[in-house]
Amino acid sequence: MTEQITMAPCPFCEGPPCVIAKDYMTGKEVEFDRPLDEYSEENYSAYVWCHECGAQGPVIDSCTLGIFEGLHDLTVMAVARIAVERWNERGSKARACYDGGAKDGLNLFPRSEA
Ligand SMILES: [Zn+2]
Protein backbone atom coordinates (compact mmCIF):
# COMPACT_ATOMS: atom_id res chain seq x y z
CA MET A 1 0.00 0.00 0.00
CA THR A 2 1.19 3.49 -0.83
CA GLU A 3 2.30 5.50 2.18
CA GLN A 4 -0.29 8.09 3.15
CA ILE A 5 0.50 11.76 2.96
CA THR A 6 -1.51 14.62 4.49
CA MET A 7 -2.73 17.06 1.87
CA ALA A 8 -2.45 20.71 2.82
CA PRO A 9 -5.63 22.79 2.83
CA CYS A 10 -6.45 25.07 -0.09
CA PRO A 11 -4.15 28.12 -0.05
CA PHE A 12 -7.09 30.42 -0.91
CA CYS A 13 -10.00 29.25 1.24
CA GLU A 14 -8.46 26.48 3.36
CA GLY A 15 -11.02 24.08 1.94
CA PRO A 16 -10.55 20.33 1.48
CA PRO A 17 -8.36 19.16 -1.40
CA CYS A 18 -9.31 16.45 -3.89
CA VAL A 19 -7.05 14.56 -6.31
CA ILE A 20 -7.92 13.58 -9.86
CA ALA A 21 -5.91 11.50 -12.32
CA LYS A 22 -6.51 11.25 -16.05
CA ASP A 23 -5.19 9.43 -19.06
CA TYR A 24 -2.80 11.95 -20.60
CA MET A 25 -3.96 11.33 -24.18
CA THR A 26 -7.71 10.88 -23.79
CA GLY A 27 -8.31 13.08 -20.77
CA LYS A 28 -10.52 10.37 -19.28
CA GLU A 29 -10.37 9.90 -15.53
CA VAL A 30 -8.45 6.81 -14.38
CA GLU A 31 -8.40 4.93 -11.09
CA PHE A 32 -5.39 5.42 -8.82
CA ASP A 33 -4.84 1.66 -8.56
CA ARG A 34 -4.70 1.11 -12.31
CA PRO A 35 -1.93 -1.43 -12.88
CA LEU A 36 1.04 -0.45 -14.98
CA ASP A 37 1.14 -2.40 -18.22
CA GLU A 38 4.79 -2.73 -19.21
CA TYR A 39 3.89 -2.82 -22.89
CA SER A 40 1.62 0.16 -22.68
CA GLU A 41 2.53 3.63 -23.81
CA GLU A 42 0.03 5.15 -21.42
CA ASN A 43 0.86 8.39 -19.67
CA TYR A 44 -1.10 10.00 -16.89
CA SER A 45 -1.75 13.45 -15.57
CA ALA A 46 -2.92 14.41 -12.11
CA TYR A 47 -3.65 17.48 -10.06
CA VAL A 48 -5.12 18.52 -6.75
CA TRP A 49 -8.10 20.85 -6.67
CA CYS A 50 -10.10 22.50 -3.96
CA HIS A 51 -13.57 21.08 -3.48
CA GLU A 52 -14.89 24.43 -2.20
CA CYS A 53 -13.47 27.12 -4.49
CA GLY A 54 -12.10 25.12 -7.42
CA ALA A 55 -8.53 26.39 -7.13
CA GLN A 56 -6.15 23.98 -8.79
CA GLY A 57 -2.59 22.94 -8.09
CA PRO A 58 0.06 22.25 -10.74
CA VAL A 59 -0.91 19.68 -13.39
CA ILE A 60 1.64 16.88 -13.25
CA ASP A 61 2.05 14.41 -16.10
CA SER A 62 4.20 11.35 -16.56
CA CYS A 63 5.26 12.40 -20.07
CA THR A 64 6.90 15.61 -18.79
CA LEU A 65 8.30 13.84 -15.73
CA GLY A 66 9.98 11.32 -18.04
CA ILE A 67 11.50 13.92 -20.33
CA PHE A 68 12.61 16.54 -17.80
CA GLU A 69 13.06 14.64 -14.56
CA GLY A 70 14.10 11.19 -15.79
CA LEU A 71 11.15 9.51 -14.05
CA HIS A 72 9.85 6.64 -16.16
CA ASP A 73 7.21 3.91 -15.91
CA LEU A 74 5.22 5.84 -13.33
CA THR A 75 1.94 4.38 -12.14
CA VAL A 76 -1.19 6.50 -11.80
CA MET A 77 -0.65 6.43 -8.05
CA ALA A 78 2.94 7.70 -8.39
CA VAL A 79 1.88 10.59 -10.63
CA ALA A 80 -0.96 11.49 -8.25
CA ARG A 81 1.46 11.35 -5.34
CA ILE A 82 3.77 13.85 -7.04
CA ALA A 83 0.76 16.10 -7.74
CA VAL A 84 -0.03 16.06 -4.01
CA GLU A 85 3.58 16.87 -3.13
CA ARG A 86 3.51 19.85 -5.52
CA TRP A 87 0.18 21.02 -4.05
CA ASN A 88 1.69 20.84 -0.59
CA GLU A 89 4.72 22.91 -1.55
CA ARG A 90 4.33 26.46 -0.31
CA GLY A 91 7.49 28.22 -1.30
CA SER A 92 8.65 31.54 -2.62
CA LYS A 93 11.12 30.34 -5.24
CA ALA A 94 9.52 32.48 -7.96
CA ARG A 95 9.07 35.62 -5.87
CA ALA A 96 12.12 37.29 -7.41
CA CYS A 97 10.45 36.95 -10.81
CA TYR A 98 7.29 38.62 -9.50
CA ASP A 99 9.26 41.41 -7.84
CA GLY A 100 11.37 41.86 -10.96
CA GLY A 101 8.27 42.50 -13.06
CA ALA A 102 6.77 44.96 -10.59
CA LYS A 103 8.96 47.87 -11.70
CA ASP A 104 7.71 47.35 -15.27
CA GLY A 105 4.08 47.17 -14.20
CA LEU A 106 3.78 43.50 -15.15
CA ASN A 107 1.78 42.68 -12.03
CA LEU A 108 -0.99 45.16 -12.89
CA PHE A 109 -4.21 44.21 -14.63
CA PRO A 110 -4.87 45.42 -17.19
CA ARG A 111 -1.32 46.28 -18.10
CA SER A 112 -0.47 49.78 -19.18
CA GLU A 113 -0.05 50.51 -22.87
CA ALA A 114 3.56 50.14 -23.98
ZN1 LIG B 1 -10.29 26.71 -1.99
Note the pLDDT of residue 24.
93
For the stretch 66-112, pLDDT in tens is 999 999 989 999 999 999 999 999 889 999 999 999 999 999 999 98
Note the pLDDT of residue 35.
86
How far away, in angstroms, is 113 Cα from ligand 1 center? 33
How far away, in angstroms, is 60 Cα from ligand 1 center? 19
How far away, in angstroms, is 15 Cα from ligand 1 center? 5
Note the pLDDT of residue 47.
98
Task: Work out the percent of the chain whose per-residue pLDDT is above 70.
Answer: 97
Return the domain boundaries, the chain.
Answer: 17-102
How far away, in angstroms, is 81 Cα from ligand 1 center? 20
Q: What average pLDDT does the chain have?
A: 93
- Own/partner long-range contacts of 75-79 (Cβ < 8 Å, ≥24 apart): 75/34, 75/35, 75/36, 75/44, 76/21, 76/30, 76/31, 76/32, 76/33, 76/34, 76/44, 76/46, 77/2, 77/32, 77/33, 79/21, 79/44, 79/45, 79/46
Confidence class for position 114, pLDDT limits 50, 70, 90: low
How far away, in angstroms, is 114 Cα from ligand 1 center? 35
